[in-house]
Each structure stands twice: as C-alpha cells, then as structure tokens.
Amino acid sequence: MRFVDQVKINIKAGDGGKGCLSFRREKFIPRGGPDGGDGGHGGSVYLLTDSSLTTLLDFRYNAHYKASNGVHGMGKHKHGKVGDDLVIKLPPGTLVYNADTDELIVDLTETNQKYKLISGGMGGRGNARFATSTNRAPRHTQPGVPGEQIILRLELKLIADVGLVGMPNAGKSTLIRAVSSARPKVADYPFTTLVPNLGVVRYDGFKSFVMADIPGLIEGASEGHGLGTRFLRHVERTDFFLHLVDLTTAPEDDYLCHFNTINNELKRHDETMLNKPQIVVLTKNDVTEVRELAEKVTPLFEELGYPVFSVSAITGDGIKELVDTIGSRLDQHRNTDA
C-alpha cells in the first residue's frame, strides 16, 4: 500500500432545504390557509480518528467530500428531512490545517477522537411560519442557507512510542522485523526503506508498544537531502529514540561520527527532539569484527550518558534485553504521566 502523508481536500457541509409555499386545499374547507413546511437542515461534517488507518492514501484519489443537503419543505406542514452528517475517518496523528490561511484547526492525536469541522446550513421557513392576524395568506418563504465550505490540508505525523533513527543501512528495518510483525523491505543497499513503518512490539506478557521505522537519514536531511526532510516529522511524537549505529561503516578515527551527524540533523529539524532520551543500539554484532569494536566503542557512548546495547537482529543476540529495557522505560514514563 502506498504511504501518503500530505493531501489537500475540499469539504462542504449540506445546504439547508427550501421552505415550502403551499395553501391548504380540501373539500368543504374554503379558507384552509398556508400550510408550507420548513426545509430540513443540511448535514454537518465531522472528523473521526480510526486506529486501523495509517496513511492518507484514500484522500489522494478522492479530494471532494460533501454532506447531504436538507430536504425541501412540503405542504400540509410537512418539514423536510434533515441531511445526513458526514463523518470523515482519519488516522491518529493527523494535523488538520485550513489550506487558505495555514491555520491549525485541530491535532487529532487520540483514537476515536471526534471533532465537528463545519456545520450544515439551516433550513428555510415555509409560508406557514409567516401567517399573522393581518397577513393570513403569506406568499413569503425562505431559501435554505448554504452549508459551510473549507479546503483542508492534512498532514500525518505517525504516533509511536519509540522511533528508530540512524544512517541508511544501519539495520533499522531488520530490527523492527525481528521484534514485531512489520515487514519492511530489507536489502544490502542504502535507502531500501522509502516510507515509514509501524510495528507493535510485545513485552512482559500482554503489554506492547509501537515502534516507528523511518527512512535512513543523511547529512543535510533537515535541509532536504535524501528522504529526511519529508519523514523526520514522523518521529516528533515518540517518547524516545533508538539510535542505531553500524560500526562497520563508521570511520576508524571517529566512531561517533555518524551518531553526531544524525543528532545534528534532529536538532536542525527541531531542537526539542534532542531533549528526548536516546538508547544507542550497536547493530550487526553477529559479525566478529563488530563484536570486538563494540567493546571498544561502548565506553565512548556511556561517557556521554547514553545506555548502550549491542544486538544482532539476525541471531537474536541482545534483542530480548533491549525490548525489556524499552518496555521498562515506557512503563515508568506512563506511570509518571498518570
């Protein structure tokens, strides 16, 4: 399925129905009087988050949405039916902007969160409403009020507990495949991941957390190089980062080089992202050379205050310890928030 995270759509609420011009005409009732009913109100438009959705793909092919109009009034004081409301389902994490003013309307972060976007037009009054003691046969009615209309810009920021960051081919997709049911593409060349992926990771029995894998970052990602400028926002909402480091590609004289490069790009994109806790994950320790380097490099990261794990997603070495640590940290974070 294609991943789409930015779209524009046109939304219109239903128009109100027209009031009816009618007079009662029945046998033996010569002066029946006005009996035109009111038009029904137009349907309103609501936004509703649906956790089964993870992309805005549907809106790429259908950019126009309209609620039902109210039915016109009829004779015999029959009011028109109210138009059906339109409920538009969006994935959690969707930011809704007014495309004309670029104003943020609502940030939909909760599951099953409902928001009334625009209201339908009021139905017009029929001529029965205008009967008075001095005007017993009014011929005046009201048209229905047009429903509100707006052009939206939708922007999706995936909601996950843990975000994977690192250089291309650092092993992010392999790791998320090893700990969850997510199946991103894995290959031995950079930028095999072209779209973000979410995986649900189980731990401690029935507990779970959501892990987000975004395409690999490179130097200059915050300025548009590679794929970073488009996808960096998808890790803005995470509680903390797993920073994956592939020691086989790091310069021998500076094993922190790639680590510092990624952190610089995070800072340039949004300085608050560096305030999030990070766990350093040294990947590919099934390679003898990497295991030897890990013993040498681990103290360098620990001196900077980062916990370090050396893992292999292929053999499973260190994976359980890493998942348990992540789960424990998230439990502490959730208990603190509660």
User: Domain segments of the chain: what residues?
Assistant: 1-156, 162-337
pLDDT of residue 216: 57
10-19, 57-66, 125-134, 202-211: lowest mean pLDDT where?
202-211
Q: What is the 3-state secondary structure (H, E, C) of 15-43?
A: CCCCCCCCECCECCECCCCECCCCCCCCC
Please report, as a single letter, which amino acid is at residue 188: D
Tokens encoding 112: 């099953």
Tell me the C-alpha distance between 180 and 214, whole Å. Answer: 15
82 pLDDT above the threshold of 50: yes
Question: Does pTM top 0.85 for this prediction?
Answer: no
The three-class DSSP label of residue 68 is coil
User: What pLDDT, on the 0 to 100 scale, is given for residue 182?
Assistant: 66
pLDDT band, very low/low/confident/very high, at 256 (cuts 50, 70, 90):
confident
Residue 190: per-residue pLDDT: 43
3-state DSSP assignment of residue 63: coil
Res. 7: pLDDT tops 50: yes
Tokens of 331: 């439990």
Mean pLDDT, the chain, rounded, equals 85
For the domain covering 162-337, report its CATH number.
Answer: 3.40.50.300
DSSP for 84-146 reads: PPEEEEE-TTEEEEETTT--EEEEE-STT-EEEEEPPPPPPPPGGGG--SS-SS-----PPPP
Q: Hey, is 69 helix, strand or coil?
A: coil
Is pLDDT of 65 > 80?
Answer: yes
Tell me the mean pLDDT in the region 94-105. Answer: 94
Q: Mention every residue, 6+ apart, whose C-beta is less than 8 A from residue 312.
A: 283, 284, 285, 286, 318, 319
Confidence of residue 337 (pLDDT cuts 50, 70, 90): low
Domain pair 1-156 / 162-337, same fold: no
- Given 1.10.10.60, 2.60.120.10, 1.25.40.10, 2.70.210.12, which CATH number is that of 1-156? 2.70.210.12
